[in-house]
Amino acid sequence: MRVAKFCERNIKVTDADKVIDLLRLHYQNDVDVRIVDCFSRCLECRVRPFFRIQLTTIEANDARILINKILQTVKLLP
């Protein structure tokens, strides 16, 4: 199982909460969602949702694209 970490502040200003809800609902056996305090990426944080798997930060323009990137990263999509 891979751990996807989300910034608490990013969740408040983007639609990352939709991504988290979807992961917890449909992919709880594949992705462990963790919410952390801050990633110190303030300029990006206010603009678009993002997450980290290991030390890699992945961002997207909206929640739909971000969920696809997460699933590709954890190898659930080709």
Look at residue 78 in the predicted model and tell me its pLDDT: 58
Read off the CATH number of the domain in which 39 is found.
3.40.30
Give domain status of residue 78, yes or no. Answer: no
Helix, coil or strand: residue 27: coil
Q: Are 51 and 15 in contact (CB under 8 A)?
A: no
**Total of domains in the chain:** 1
pTM of the model: 0.84
Tens digit of each residue's pLDDT (9 = 90 or more) over 7-49? 998 898 898 999 999 999 999 999 999 999 888 877 777 888 9
For CA atoms 34, 35, 37, 43, give the dihedral sign. Answer: positive
Q: Are strands 2-7 and 31-36 parallel, antiparallel or unpaired?
A: parallel
Q: Which domain holds residue 33?
A: 2-73
- In a domain, residue 49? The reply is yes
